[in-house]
Amino acid sequence: MEICNKQDCTGCQACMQGCPTHAISMQESIKGHIYPVIDSNICINCHKCIRICPVLNKVNKYQPLNILAGWNNNKKERKDSTSGGVSYLLSKKIIEEGGYFCGSIWESTGAKHIVTNDINKISLFQGSKYTHSNINNCFIKIQQLLKNSQIVLFSGTPCQVAGLKSYLKQDFNNLYTLDIVCHGVPSHKALSDRIKYIEKKYNKKIKEIRFRDKNPDQYHTCMKYIFSDDSYTKCSVYEDSYFCGFVDNYLLRENCFHCKYATRERVSDITLADYWGYSPYNFKFKSYQKGTSFISINTAKGQNLYSKIQHQLIAEPRTFEDAAKGNKNLHNPQTRPINYDKFWDSYTQGANFEELALCYFPPKKIQSTTNTTIRNYIKMLLPNFITTYIKKKKL
Sheet holding 110-116, edge to edge: 133-134, 110-116, 100-107, 152-156, 175-180, 270-274, 293-297, 66-72, 313-317
Average pLDDT for 297-308 = 96
> Nearest to residue 328, comparing CAs of 179, 181, 129?
181
Residues composing the chain: 395
Whole-number Cα distances in Å, 12 to 43, 156, 178, 241: 20, 10, 15, 26
- The per-residue pLDDT for range 6-44, each reduced to its tens digit, is 999 999 999 999 999 999 999 999 999 999 999 999 999
Strand pairing class (175-180; 206-214)? unpaired
**pLDDT of 84 above 80:** no
Domain ranges of the chain: 188-251+334-364
- Of the pLDDT bands very low, low, confident and very high (cuts 50, 70, 90), residue 388 is very low
The pTM for the full model equals 0.88
- pLDDT the model gives residue 339: 98
- pLDDT the model gives residue 78: 61
**pLDDT of 67 above 90:** yes
- The per-residue pLDDT for range 124-152, each reduced to its tens digit, is 888 778 899 999 999 999 999 999 999 99
**pLDDT of 202 above 90:** yes
- pLDDT the model gives residue 212: 73
Percent pLDDT > 70 in the chain is 83
**pLDDT of 208 above 90:** no
Count CB atoms within 10 A of the CB of residue 346: 17
- Of the pLDDT bands very low, low, confident and very high (cuts 50, 70, 90), residue 199 is very high
Average pLDDT for 245-258 = 97
**pLDDT of 301 above 70:** yes
- Of the pLDDT bands very low, low, confident and very high (cuts 50, 70, 90), residue 80 is low
**pLDDT of 379 above 70:** no
**pLDDT of 299 above 70:** yes
Residues 295, 301, 303, 308, CA torsion sign: negative
For residue 208, which amino acid is it? E
- The per-residue pLDDT for range 212-236, each reduced to its tens digit, is 776 655 445 788 898 999 999 988 8
- pLDDT the model gives residue 364: 80
